[in-house]
């Protein structure tokens, strides 16, 4: 539409002014927000933009390979950083949700600082380091980013940023909602798999493990999540729901029975929601057959999980993610 084109043109102009002859890196997450932000900045400064994707060890099954394939078709420069050890070491022993978010936000920035030096070399005296982020309006509001905002949770790219930030931020989507970002993405001709990808939070599975984040727990959640996503896709439900987090209650165990044996495993919770903009949400009424299939497969195929529960809370009072 006319307004979306306008937004792009305005942003391109102001980014050109902000960056001048400088260079920028873009924090690419694999999601639509950072992809659209990157596409706008690429229009503004061309190959002086380098996209950096950080694998923090909390991505879903096959996700990094998928992102690499999808994005290499659209962006000339994609720098993939394997930072799993760095993030998971920093998270060892941490259970508090806000603390997790702050640590993840900080490690992201440290990783981008290192990438900046690796890609562009040491900064010249007086040179500004620019970081492009796909921050949306709801991220700002819910992180407590200014007047009229609340502090519900610190989104990794807003309230989770370290105080000693050396980057000057470029955030072309800061006034937009997700549906507007998708419209801009379509305007810019991004592939529809990218534009219609369901939201996935920057902190990844780290905020879907209730309790300490460990490699073993990540493996369990990744396996359960992969089954849930596969069944949702098979059932053709991907466009009907906003997203469906799968949450591992890692510190909870319950008794079950499988074959002739007692089990003492963990529950996972399915959190299917419908939403317009993630500010509010309703729990999605999934077909029973789909829930049944997911439950049966997860408990059969993931030995550590012996119960599948369904979250039937709207937002408010629940948030979409559990942390």
Q: Residue numbers of the site for ligand XMP (CB under 6 A)?
A: 101, 142, 153, 155-156, 199, 201-203, 243, 278, 315, 319-321
C-alpha triplet 234, 237, 238: angle, nearest 5°: 95
In the complex, what is the shortest distance from the CB of residue 159 to ligand XMP, in angstroms, rounded to a whole number?
A: 8
Phi, psi (deg, nearest 5) at residue 262: -75, 140
In the complex, what is the shortest distance from the CB of residue 278 to ligand XMP, in angstroms, rounded to a whole number?
A: 4
- In whole angstroms, how large is the CA radius of gyration of the chain? 20
Nearer to ligand XMP, 139 or 231 (CB): 139
67 is in an annotated binding site: no
31 is in an annotated binding site: yes
Which residue, chain included where needed, has tokens 């939403």?
Answer: 275
First to last CA, the chain: 36
Q: State CA 305 to chain mean position distance.
A: 24
Nearer to ligand XMP, 263 or 274 (CB): 274
In this structure, what token pair is assigned to residue 222?
């990744």
SS3 track for 160-227: CCCCCCCEEEECCCCCCCHHHHHHHHHHCCCCHHHHCCCCCCCCHHHHCEECCCCHHHHHHHHHHHHH
238 is in an annotated binding site: no
In the complex, what is the shortest distance from the CB of residue 315 to ligand XMP, in angstroms, rounded to a whole number?
A: 5
In the complex, what is the shortest distance from the CB of residue 254 to ligand XMP, in angstroms, rounded to a whole number?
A: 25
Nearer to ligand XMP, 61 or 243 (CB): 243
Which residue, chain included where needed, has tokens 């599948």?
Answer: 308
29 is in an annotated binding site: yes
In the complex, what is the shortest distance from the CB of residue 101 to ligand XMP, in angstroms, rounded to a whole number?
A: 6
In the complex, what is the shortest distance from the CB of residue 244 to ligand XMP, in angstroms, rounded to a whole number?
A: 10
121 is in an annotated binding site: no
In the complex, what is the shortest distance from the CB of residue 167 to ligand XMP, in angstroms, rounded to a whole number?
A: 17
57 is in an annotated binding site: no
Nearer to ligand XMP, 172 or 201 (CB): 201
Nearer to ligand XMP, 243 or 306 (CB): 243
Nearer to ligand XMP, 160 or 267 (CB): 160
Phi, psi (deg, nearest 5) at residue 34: -70, -30
35 is in an annotated binding site: yes
Q: Are strands 24-28 and 49-55 parallel, antiparallel or unpaired?
A: parallel
Nearer to ligand XMP, 128 or 313 (CB): 313
CB 228 within 8 A of CB 243: no
Q: How far is CA 156 from CA 92, 102, 142, 261, in A?
A: 18, 7, 11, 43
Across the chain, the runs of DSSP E, i.e. the strands, are: 24-28, 49-55, 78-82, 129-132, 167-170, 209-210, 246-249, 254-258, 261-270, 273-274, 282-283, 305-310
Binding site for ATP: what residues are annotated? 29-35
């Amino acid at each position: 539409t006319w307004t979306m084109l306008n937004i792009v043109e305005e942003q391109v102009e102001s980014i050109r002014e902000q960056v001048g002859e400088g260079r920028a890196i873009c924090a690419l997450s694999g999601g639509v927000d950072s992809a659209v932000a990157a596409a706008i900045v690429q229009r503004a400064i061309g190959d002086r933009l380098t996209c950096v994707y950080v694998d923090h060890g909390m991505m879903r099954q096959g996700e990094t390979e998928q992102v690499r394939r999808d994005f290499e078709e659209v962006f000339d420069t994609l720098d993939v950083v394997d930072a799993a050890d760095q993030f998971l070491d920093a998270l060892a022993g941490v259970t508090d949700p806000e603390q997790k978010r702050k640590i993840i936000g900080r490690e992201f920035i440290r990783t981008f600082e290192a990438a900046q030096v690796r890609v562009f070399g040491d900064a010249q005296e007086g040179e500004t380091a620019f970081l492009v982020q796909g921050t949306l309006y709801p991220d700002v509001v819910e992180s407590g980013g200014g007047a009229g905002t609340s502090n519900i949770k610190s989104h990794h790219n807003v309230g989770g940023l370290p105080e000693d930030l050396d980057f000057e931020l470029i955030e072309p989507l800061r006034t937009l909602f997700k549906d507007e970002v998708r419209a801009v993405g379509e305007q810019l001709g991004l592939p529809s798999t990218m534009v219609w990808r369901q939201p996935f939070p920057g902190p990844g599975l780290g905020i879907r493990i209730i309790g300490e984040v460990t490699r073993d727990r990540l493996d369990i959640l990744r396996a359960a999540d992969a089954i849930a996503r596969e069944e949702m896709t098979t059932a053709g439900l991907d466009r009907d729901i906003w997203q469906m987090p799968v949450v591992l209650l890692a510190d909870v165990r319950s008794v079950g029975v499988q074959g002739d044996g007692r089990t003492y495993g963990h529950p996972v919770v399915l959190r299917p929601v419908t939403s317009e903009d993630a500010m509010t949400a309703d729990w999605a009424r999934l077909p029973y057959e789909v829930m049944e299939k997911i439950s049966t497969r997860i408990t059969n195929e993931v030995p550590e999980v012996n119960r599948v529960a369904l979250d039937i809370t709207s937002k408010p009072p629940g948030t979409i993610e559990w942390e």
